[in-house]
Structure 1
């Protein structure tokens, strides 16, 4: 891990520069002063998606889902639980493909739920289908 990291605030979208050693110390945003990690996935839109992928120096795990999808709703609590286990070393985010169809199309999402892991703005792994929190954590850590 480098000496300093860039992290996008889940509240105000400001890019924060943080010493890597402070990552585990529950850092707050320098602009809005809210926690940079909340233990909950960040809801992303077309307007915020690129910023989170391109400006976070930690991996970003995105759950592409839709409100009408039964398996998506079943996996939602597990995804929140996984956020609590993976943060602050991985940012978890959700994209509602019903509200943001262009993002689903851009990333060729064919079935939901689909998890996509991004590093440095590039997709490095993908998994479709509902998973338990433990399976999500194991999958991410193996990548």
Structure 2
């Protein structure tokens, strides 16, 4: 097991190698200088999602959602709060299924909101329906054990 992680910058998409012991030290991108973690989910399009899956080594928790979805809007602040609790061990991201229909079809997203947890480029678990912050954090941590 490597003693570092590859973190894809949410601003410029550069892959950054960060020692695990320094993840909590607010690492910045070697190319653009932006913070690699912001305590908030990153918004991904299909290209960004694919790059993060291909290069990033952190587990990725994705909220598949749509703007018109009431339960998605209810869950949004809970997902935001979960990011503050789970980073930097887990990267949280949001994918708008209306804008990224190919990605939603690829992962067979049939109801929203759906959260899917990915590790090493593969989906390892998913859960549908609006979840609160505590449930999101507990489910993610339990699944990754």
The two structures share one fold, judged by TM-score above 0.5: yes
Distance 1:142 1:53 in 2: 21
Structure 1 outlier segments of 4+, above 3 Å: none
TM-score (norm 1): 0.98
Q: CA RMSD in A?
A: 0.8
Aligned to 1:4: 4
- Deviation at residue 19 of structure 1 after TM alignment: 1.2
Where do residues 1-143 of structure 1 align in structure 2 (5 Å cutoff)?
2-143=2-143
CA distance in structure 2 between the aligned counterparts of 1:54 and 1:136, rounded to whole angstroms? 24
Structure 1 residue runs without a partner (length 5+): none
| TM-fit CA distance, 1:2 | 2.5
Provide TM-score, normalisation by structure 2: 0.96
C-alpha displacement of 1:95: 0.2
| Structure 2 residue ranges without an equivalent (≥5) | none
Tell me how many residue pairs correspond in the alignment. 143
> How many angstroms apart in 2 are the aligned matches of 1:103 and 1:4?
29
Deviating more after overlay: 48-57 vs 61-70: 48-57
Secondary structure at the aligned position of 1:52 is classed as helix
